[in-house]
Structure 1
Amino acid sequence: MNVETIETPSLGDRSYLVHDGEVALVVDPQRDLDRVLSAADDARVAITHVAETHLHNDYVSGGLALSQRTGATYLHAAAEVLPFDHRGVGDGDVIEVGSLTVRVVATPGHTQHHLSYHVTENGDGKGAGAGAGAGAGAGALFTGGSLLYGSVGRTDLVAADLTDTLTRLQYRSVRGMIDSLPGDTRFYPTHGFGSFCSSSQGGDDSDGTLAGERSVNLALTIEDEDTFVERLVSGLSDHPAYYAQMSPMNRAGGIPVDLSPAAPVDPTELLRRIHRGEWVVDLRNRRAYATDHLVGTIGIELDDPFATYLGWLIPWGTAVTLVADTAEELAEAQRQLARIGIDRPAGGADGGPDVWGEGHDRAS
């Protein structure tokens, strides 16, 4: 069994391509599918299954589009009411992916119907049947927003009145996985690498195995459930405003992403947009922006948290025009924004302020 990790540092998330050398399962794919398809091509495998651990709150999933493009079976929690074609799965279900066996483990907490997927090579876990850990080989466990490295997924993103219940479920789910699977099982979370879906930042002491989490994970080092609930909930920080849009978009299924270049905007039109009070976002680093920028633009540096910051600040549905030094920077910003459902910028301009700022008021 091979596990290929597809990083999305701008959101603090990971997706996974799991394969046996011929066919593959993709877990929690992001919306820009070219990265997933490239990984599959490099491994020379066909994607036959796509699995979601939950309805995501921090990005728009590419799962449905990937399944439609490849003809793969799309796995989602059977308990979710969804309007698109998928195979509903639940606790104890078994799916064969080539020579791999995928067992579904119910792990509610981060969301009500959260699932994890325990993958073993055929022969390691035959006969596990009703129990996800009964006789199963160590394999690989894909935990989404449940068990994270040194932490767990936050439990306050679904609804305020469900936070206490979900926190208790999170505690029980994590401890249940630890108790029912071999200690040398390696686990692969989707969140927890800077994502605001993590309840706390941790993971530096994690060795990536279930046994290793026993001494470093909050849900495993606190033996009293009430104490865990109080500690976790009291430590939850604010989360980006755009999160409120993600679950509804994922529940609807999302649409394929269009990453073709945004329409070019000349200096005259750029000036009109600024004067109308539209969002014109300067992607250059903060020092360059502080030294020289167009009056009326908004400076948000294009680095890993760019989409998170912009999505946190901008009124949802507002048109955004991007300006940068290079076309490559415009393309990267557009890709990051598409992951959180901000599609098709209203336009873009590259070449730096001496090009797109000709004749404009400058601040320095």
Structure 2
Amino acid sequence: MDIAVEVIETSSLGDRSYLASDGQVAVVVDPQRDIDRILALAADRGVRITHVVETHLHNDYVSGGLELSRVTGAAYVVGAGDEVGFERLAVRDGDELRTGGLSLRVLETPGHTHHHVSYTLQDATTGDVRAVFTGGSMLFGSTGRTDLLGPEHTDALTHAQYHSVRRIAAELPGSAEVLPTHGFGSFCSATPTSGHASTVEQQKTGNPALTLAEQEYVDTLLAGLEAYPAYYAHMGVINTRGPAPVDLSPPRPVDPGELRRRIRQGEWVVDLRDRTAFAAGHLAGSLAFELSTNFVTYLGWLYQYGTPLTLIGESEDQVAEARRELVRIGIDDLAGAATGELAVLADGRPLRSYPVADFAALAAARKERAIHVLDTRRNDEHAQSHVTGSQHVPLHELADRLDEIPEGELWVYCGSGYRASIAASLLDREGHQVVLINDDFDHAAESGLT
């Protein structure tokens, strides 16, 4: 029988969802909040969704599983070990789900969470195992991180993760395709992943849980864990309670006078435009969060949930895209949005701006005058290499450490310019004289700065 598995990519969060079908019925695995994408795909393929399954209660996004099951009438499948605030089909190790020509067998694979499960995808007629949906367990050349439920659980979960990945490798044929949810840029991965596809057999020689002794694996994983986005703290709570239906309707329009009032009140007014456009001219007090791949991760990391949030965009389409990204992490209640020419939004008032440069320009400027340099990358990045003499304050710590930043000319860098652009806007709002280094960090060494 032909069994098709299609990927629904959410690159901004580094995650994948899946639609597996036999041509008539389908199973959806780990759906994101914006379920219209999944409904459109199912309709295009002419299949009926009968089951929506979760590998775990997610910590990096709000699930669309509950709403998708209600809209389609599908069974909503969640591991029995998780206590939730909604009706679901609770499954345990060894349970089998059948629909049309598809069969899913439940494997308990704790580690990423206490009650994480994986699902083998089999031909219901022959029993042949085609793939395994591994969620945050076995990833491509890595495993899911084990510290999201608190430090008191991390060591035990790391040992459990080791045994779960080994169970998958021991019980499934080497030809089975590995289909993880995390590991494509998601902070839910314990270490960087490798590749875009894999089989169980390939993981036997490339996955640390399968190549290292248990304690070595545990020590290596724990040593490599870095900070993860602060918004993760909200995701498990929302998913356990049961997310509200998604709302992608346009936020209400905000006029220039209201924008100024909100900025004066200390509310978040976020500019979605390109970071160099923001540097060239922006409303005083607004923040730069360019709408690109990293937008939702870093806005969610720095944003205080419940703070009024207003967007500035070049167009209604740009605002709509940002709204879609934000609902994926539970930021549903936007205070409004303003679009159009920035000069109109400024309502005759002067715009703020700051220079944009590269590492070569920094090297040249340092020969002429005293310059303070700020590194906004993570601890592991800074430890590996950094601009000599630079001050290190990771972006996610900057708002709480502004009093450590000296006055005077301040050049700000990161790995590519994205995080530095956010930091520069935060510092500009505080009145600092900033220069944004919009450049790949590799060029710092080429310029003799490291």
TM range (shorter): over 0.9
Aligned to 2:285: 296
TM-score by length of 1: 0.95
CA shift for structure 1 position 207: 4.7
CA shift for structure 1 position 189: 0.4
CA distance in 2, matches of 1:248, 1:342: 14
Q: Which has the larger radius of gyration?
A: 2
Q: Does the residue aligned with 1:280 lie in a helix, a strand or coil?
A: strand
CA distance in 1, matches of 2:323, 2:233: 20
Match of 1:283 among 265, 272, 278: 272
- Read off the aligned partner of 2:101 and give its amino acid letter: S
Aligned to 2:189: 198
Q: Does the 8 Å CA contact 1:29/1:62 hold for their aligned counterparts?
A: yes
**1:209 corresponds to 2:209:** no
Q: Does the residue aligned with 1:4 lie in a helix, a strand or coil?
A: strand
CA shift for structure 1 position 121: 1.2
Q: Does the 8 Å CA contact 2:178/2:197 hold for their aligned counterparts?
A: no
Q: Structure 1 regions of 5+ residues with no counterpart? A: 126-136
Q: Does the 8 Å CA contact 2:77/2:90 hold for their aligned counterparts?
A: yes
Aligned to 1:118: 120
Deviations 1:39-81 (A, max 9, x none): 1011100111000000000000010011011110000011111
Aligned to 1:24: 26
CA distance in 2, matches of 1:138, 1:242: 37
The 1:280/1:207 distance shift into structure 2, 3 A limit, reads closer
Aligned to 2:209: 219
Q: Does the 8 Å CA contact 1:311/1:340 hold for their aligned counterparts?
A: yes
Aligned to 1:155: 146
CA distance in 2, matches of 1:313, 1:82: 28
CA distance in 1, matches of 2:82, 2:254: 43
**1:269 corresponds to 2:266:** no
Q: Structure 2 regions of 5+ residues with no counterpart? A: 354-450
Q: Does the 8 Å CA contact 1:323/1:352 hold for their aligned counterparts?
A: no
Taking CA–CA contacts closer than 8 Å with sequence separation of 6 or more, which of the two structures ends up with the larger relative contact order? 1
CA distance in 1, matches of 2:205, 2:339: 50
CA distance in 1, matches of 2:341, 2:52: 41
CA distance in 2, matches of 1:171, 1:291: 50
CA distance in 1, matches of 2:249, 2:346: 24
- Read off the aligned partner of 2:52 and give its amino acid letter: V
Q: Does the residue aligned with 2:103 lie in a helix, a strand or coil?
A: strand
Deviations 1:58-113 (A, max 9, x none): 00001001101111000001111112110000110001011111101100000000
Q: Does the residue aligned with 1:363 lie in a helix, a strand or coil?
A: coil
Q: Does the residue aligned with 1:362 lie in a helix, a strand or coil?
A: coil
CA distance in 2, matches of 1:358, 1:5: 46
Q: Within 5 A, what are the aligned runs for 1:2-81?
A: 2-81=4-83
CA distance in 1, matches of 2:193, 2:87: 37
CA distance in 2, matches of 1:290, 1:207: 39
Deviations 1:330-360 (A, max 9, x none): 0011100000000031000111312322223
**1:183 corresponds to 2:185:** no
Q: Does the 8 Å CA contact 1:18/1:24 hold for their aligned counterparts?
A: yes
Q: Does the 8 Å CA contact 2:108/2:118 hold for their aligned counterparts?
A: yes
The 1:315/1:207 distance shift into structure 2, 3 A limit, reads closer
CA distance in 2, matches of 1:19, 1:332: 29
Q: Does the 8 Å CA contact 1:334/1:344 hold for their aligned counterparts?
A: no
CA distance in 1, matches of 2:313, 2:8: 27
- Read off the aligned partner of 1:40 and give its amino acid letter: A
CA RMSD, 1 decimal: 0.9
